[in-house]
Amino acid sequence: MEQMKTEVREGGDMAKTFNVSGACDPDIHYMVDIRGRLEEIRAMVDAGMYFTINRARQYGKTTTLNALNEFLKHDYMVISLDFQMISASKYRNENVFSLAFANFFLRVLEVGQEITVEYPAVNALKRAVENRKEEIELYELFTYLSRICGESKKPVILMIDEVDSASDNQVFMDFLAQLRGYYIARKRTPTFHSVILAGVYDIKNIRHKIRQEEEHKRNSPWNIAADFLVDMSFSAEDIAGMLDEYEADYGTGMDVESVAGLIYDYTSGYPFLVSRICMLIDERITGGREFPNKHSAWTKGGLLAAVRLLTAEKNTLFESLTGKLASYTGLRNLIYSLLFSGNTIPYQPLNTAIETAEMFGLIRREGSNAVIANRIFEIILYDLFLSEEILDNAMYKSALQDQYGFVRNGHLDMKLILERFVIHFDELYGDRDEKFLEDVGRRYFLLYLKPIINGTGNYYIESRTRNRERTDVIVDYRGEQFVIELKLWRGNAYNKRGETQLCEYLDYYHLKRGYMLSFNFNKKKEIGVKELRFGDKVLVEAVV
């Protein structure tokens, strides 16, 4: 079980920590400054909008709502509810739900607002709850809520977190329909000034969770929600701001801008992943044999070690993401195609698989195409799919037999890996046709590579070069990086262009040595491995 380190600042104050469990509190946790996002959301609230903060699991929704509550409370009466606190049994009919909602609403109202006898509607709702038990109907509940909104000296904001935890039943749909009706009639009938629903599902997407018999039931509750366009991912600058605060406390001497940039490269700003990597460096990497202090841990090597720990752990986020692949038709095929086929998949939000994958945080839009959301998810997903082939795959078994000879004096011998891969691949599959090589060649190299670097290194695919003709694999092993270009052979001229591109790519990674693995369909090909020199670069080329 992971052990938490507790430190104390000078003066006796408890040190802040990085947090991935529940909402963050700026008084006790290192956090990205989200004031800019709060200002954007505030503008939507001021405009009286009805919208959903829909983001994937552990994307900072609850933290944002808590901060937003504090941000708005001086000018608004904020009613902030969490539907996870209403048990499933309360949805068995509208009367039971209405009573539970009324109790929850009153409890939050009394704790968070200065409610006095000047609000007769509040007292009336209290009496109804106390006297009539489970006999409050939904329309009657909203009548009370409307009266409370009308009596309030401040505009009333309704915020509901985890709204989609209740979205697979008709009572919830009826609640949304009432909420929608009052919102549409807000110029004639007192109601909430703004409604904010937070969850994984956009209110327009909740229809994917329920079975409806009539078309109007599928459409009516969600055709009024405004688009929520606030970027809740963290930029490299956001991460640097958080690390600046940590650095001010500990003086590690880290290159804040460089470390923040590396964290962003691996996470694309996914809040949970950012905080988890920082937590692992702070609590697990620091103090070990390889990184004995904070100065050595807050480096590229320490970060890569944290990535290895992260991608090897079982956490609720990874379980949720991978579980979705089995639950949603077409999602698994989409992700598999993005990872292995090299096909470019246009971003089309009307495509159900793409819409679902984006909603769950598995993909993002990059230009006009859909791509895997970040390197961490890519590593997890590659490992998941490849693990399903391991037991029956001959290339994997060959690598298991060879694996202990590829590390010399602590350094990975990538040239030897290619040499052995060429031999095994030719023995096992050398007589296969072009279609076979296109479909499985790159996948089999990753299967061969996996047991060799497993537990000590990681790999990811460089998205900028991922296509059917060419894929660049970046291997991180004990602080060293290796760039291996996997490509389909399309003639000497094409190969020369590939060599030039690889040299340019090595400049980007500040490397002098690169590797190329070509899958050649020519029956007269000469298989093997050779070294070529291009200026100050050495290319190791392997042909199968």
Judge whether 189 and 143 are in contact, CB under 8 Å.
no
- Say yes or no: 298 and 409 in one domain: no
Distance CA 249, CA 234 (A): 22
pLDDT tens per residue, range 242-270: 999 999 999 999 999 999 999 999 999 99
Pick the more confident residue, 215 or 83. 83
Query: What average pLDDT does the structure give for the chain?
Result: 86
Residue 41 lies in a domain: no
- Say yes or no: 123 and 211 in one domain: yes
Selection from 9-18, 158-167, 507-516 with the highest mean pLDDT: 507-516
Residue 383 lies in a domain: no
Domain range holding 346? 316-375
Q: CATH number for the domain including 82? A: 3.40.50
Tokens coding 42 = 């505030």
- Say yes or no: 290 and 176 in one domain: no
For 217, other C-beta atoms within 10 Å of its C-beta total 16
Judge whether 325 and 394 are in contact, CB under 8 Å.
no
Residue 228 reports pLDDT greater than 60: yes
What's the pLDDT at 296? 97
pTM value is 0.88
Residue 116 reports pLDDT greater than 60: no
pLDDT tens per residue, range 26-78: 999 999 999 999 999 999 999 999 998 989 999 999 999 999 999 999 999 99
The percent of residues above 90 in pLDDT, for the chain, comes to: 53
Q: How confident is the model at residue 201 (pLDDT cuts 50, 70, 90)?
A: confident
What's the pLDDT at 313? 94
Q: How confident is the model at residue 278 (pLDDT cuts 50, 70, 90)?
A: very high
Residue 220 reports pLDDT greater than 50: no
Among 270, 294, 310, give the residue marking a domain's end: 310
- For 396-407, what is the mean pLDDT? 81
- Say yes or no: 215 and 273 in one domain: no
Q: Which of 6-15, 219-228, 327-336 has the lowest mean pLDDT?
A: 6-15
Give the max Cα distance, the chain: 93
Judge whether 422 and 529 are in contact, CB under 8 Å.
yes
pLDDT tens per residue, range 292-318: 999 999 999 999 999 999 999 999 999
- Say yes or no: 53 and 201 in one domain: yes
Distance CA 539, CA 415 (A): 10
What's the pLDDT at 305? 93
Residue 384 lies in a domain: no
Q: How confident is the model at residue 218 (pLDDT cuts 50, 70, 90)?
A: very low
What's the pLDDT at 270? 97
Residue 270 lies in a domain: yes
At 416, give phi and psi (nearest 5°).
Answer: -65, -35
Q: How many Å separate Cα 532 from the centre of its chain?
A: 40
Judge whether 189 and 225 are in contact, CB under 8 Å.
no
Residue 465 reports pLDDT greater than 70: no
Judge whether 460 and 397 are in contact, CB under 8 Å.
no
Distance CA 528, CA 544 (A): 7
- Say yes or no: 51 and 199 in one domain: yes
- Say yes or no: 356 and 443 in one domain: no
3-class DSSP assignment, residue 454:
coil
Residue 228 lies in a domain: no
Helices (DSSP H) in 408-464: which residue ranges? 414-429, 434-453
- Say yes or no: 444 and 354 in one domain: no
Residue 469 reports pLDDT greater than 80: no
